[in-house]
Chains A and B, each alone.
Chain A
Amino acid sequence: MAASAVSSLARSAGVTARPLATRDAPWLRYTLTAVALGFLALFLVLPLVAVFAEAFRRGIGAYFAALNDPDGLHALKLTLLTAGLAVPANLVFGVAAAWCIAKFTFPGKSLLITLIDLPFAVSPVISGLIYVLLFGAQGWYGLYLNAENPWLPGLQAWLYEQDFKIIFAVPGIVLATTFVTFPFIARELIPLMQTQGNDEEYAAITLGANGWQTFWKVTLPNIKWGLFYGVILCNARAMGEFGAVSVVSGHIRGETNTLPLHVEILYNEYQFVGAFAAASILALLALVTLVLKSLVEWAHARRHAASAAS
């Protein structure tokens, strides 16, 4: 309100006499732009260029030979699998949590919001250690398996027979990644859904829609851009997570190494081309998500324009 009042005042004062506060000297504008661009180049573009330059230092042949390493391919597969499980899990949770928080009031709501932020607050190493303490051989799960007189001896025998591997195996990596990337989608959606309010849902329900229809036809289309952005962030972090995964992985090559861990291993083994080739794949995965995002945005804008024209 206040902003529009100010701008209408400014307009009535005449277009030529813009207020002093919004008229910057050209040198200031150029300096600020140059500083921003320089910063971007130094901290974003240069490292990216360095990764690719190192990866291709010994030629394209060496680059592809390094990529064709079975351990590296396995690491790539594991990274995609982990993200493919962690992101949908957080998608469902994030939408549900944001829905609860934004559309309803209930006791313990602020506690839930705080809990959602917990993975942001704790160090990833701690996130990994939590699972070692829970599922490690010396953790609760291990103690239960080795207990002399356990509760539910049948369950103990069954678990022993099944021989589930949780930490130092894929489930632990997925769990740790899910934990670390927990808040991304929920945090993206909560403010969005709070600003949108409940009016459209109320309207849908008054018109006879059931809960499920309201969700698919009203709520979801309203939040889809926020959701999409949350998924991208969540996915990027899930594929790049190092600390938490490092604690629960056990670093078995060709089995429990994700791409970030694989990069570290190769670097430590003086295989620089391999390390940076793997790093370039990680960077490419990130670029692909960005391109996907732009594509969807473009398609959305086009459809918008088409519907506006008709």
Chain B
Amino acid sequence: MNFSHLPRLAAAALAALALAGSAAATSIELLNVSYDPTREFYFEYNAAFATHWKAKTSDDVVVKQSHGGSGKQARSVIDGLRADVVTLALADDIDAIAKHARALPVDWQTRFPHNSAPYTSTIVFLVRKGNPKGIKDWADLVKPGVAIITPNPKTSGGARWNYLAAWEFAKRKLGSDEAAKAFVAKLYKNVPVLDSGARGSTTTFVQRGIGDVFLSWENEAFLAVKEFGANKFEIVVPSLSILAEPPVAVVDKVAKRKGTAEVAKAYLEYLYSPKGQDLAGKHFYRPVDPAAAAKYASQFTKVELFTIDQAFGGWSKAHQTHFADGGTFDQIYLKN
């Protein structure tokens, strides 16, 4: 073997790879950093928005997606992931971006209607067909021998909604925060595995077949039933649940830098349009627009919903008490 060609060969290979790596991009590109269960929704919505934007301005817009646990995604944006828009599971995570990276103003939530939440959702239970453990409400979750699947509240937005819904249920039923804490501690004793995001938990419950009940985003539960058939899973709606408002925001610092501020804003505004609202309903989110809400009303069971502002005085307070280092979640989970 003659090795004297090696340096030249290597150089040629590198040049070829460099050429292959640089694809020509002429259209506008947005990056939407989102949480786990929105994959299917934004896949369809992005195509609809591209059509809309092309008709309006004749510009091509390509929206790239990144999905993961909401808290983890916020962490990535803080660490420099260049999201033009974030569409996360809860306001707390966007607050963190505003606070730690100063990438958008702290009053970001006032910039779009309905607290910047174009669709809402709630937390329901997904159980195996026939509901063998007879799970009807939150109180059934703390029974011995019930294995609960829920993601980690430190990294997943959905998991924080789960946690707070359970807490509020217990507080109303048992009367005090102390009792609620004991209830939630007992509930987490029944959790065999904490995944980092909602989709990981869905996979654990649905594909790996672990657990008796999965505390799930309503839309994620519907999707699992749709993908795997109603002959395998059932949705159980508890007596009380939380109104989950997954908010959206333009990340000003990135959008300004990339010159995409205008299209990023239009992208989020279009979520409130009839088309955007219809797609949200189609993917099992609860639309905020009354017309779309009425159209999809029949697919959702009526459930008493409370808001985080009523029960916990807003996200920043709830975060401090429950999910910050040393908060109630750390206290109960470390004790387990």
Contact = CB atoms under 8 A, between A and B. Distances in A.
Interface of A: 77-78, 80-81, 84-85, 88, 132, 135-139, 142, 163, 165, 167-168, 170, 216, 220-221, 224, 250-255, 265, 267-270, 300
A112 to B, nearest CB: 24
Contacts of B260: none
B55 interface: no
Given A138-B101, A139-B79, A81 B203 contact: no
B13 interface: yes
B4 A216 contact: yes
A42 B200 CA distance: 27
Contacts of B200: 268
Given A138-B100, A139-B79, A168-B80, A85 B3 contact: no
Interface in B1-18: 1, 3-4, 10, 13-14, 17
A84 B13 contact: yes
A272 to B, nearest CB: 9
B313 interface: no
B17 A137 contact: no
A253 B78 contact: no
Nearest to A296: B1
Q: In the complex, which range does the number of interface residues on chain B fall in?
A: 20 to 34
A218 B1 CA distance: 12
Given A168-B76, A216-B3, A251-B68, 14 more contacts: A78-B21, A84-B17, A88-B10, A132-B79, A137-B101, A138-B80, A142-B80, A165-B82, A168-B79, A168-B82, A252-B66, A253-B64, A253-B65, A268-B200
Nearest to B11: A88
B189 interface: no
B14 A250 contact: no
A270 B68 contact: no
28 contacts: A77-B21, A78-B21, A81-B21, A85-B14, A88-B13, A136-B79, A137-B80, A138-B78, A138-B100, A138-B101, A142-B79, A142-B80, A163-B257, A167-B80, A168-B76, A170-B21, A216-B4, A220-B3, A224-B3, A250-B76, A250-B81, A251-B67, A251-B68, A252-B64, A268-B199, A269-B39, A269-B40, A270-B227
Contact of A252 (B3, B10, B65): B65
Contacts of B66: 250-253
A252 B80 contact: no
B334 interface: no
Contacts of A168: 76, 79-82
A300 B202 CA distance: 52
Contacts of A220: 3
Contacts of A80: 17, 20
A78 B18 CA distance: 11
A78 B65 CA distance: 17
B31 A252 contact: yes
B89 to A, nearest CB: 16
Contact of A84 (B14, B67, B81, B82): B14
Contacts of A135: 80
B39 to A, nearest CB: 6
Nearest to B32: A252
B33 to A, nearest CB: 8
Interface in B194-248: 199-200, 202-203, 227
A88 B200 CA distance: 36
B335 to A, nearest CB: 26
Contacts of A268: 36, 199-200, 202-203
A254 B21 CA distance: 12
Nearest to A142: B80
- From B1, B10, B79, B257, name the one whose CB has the most chain A CB atoms within 10 angstroms: B79
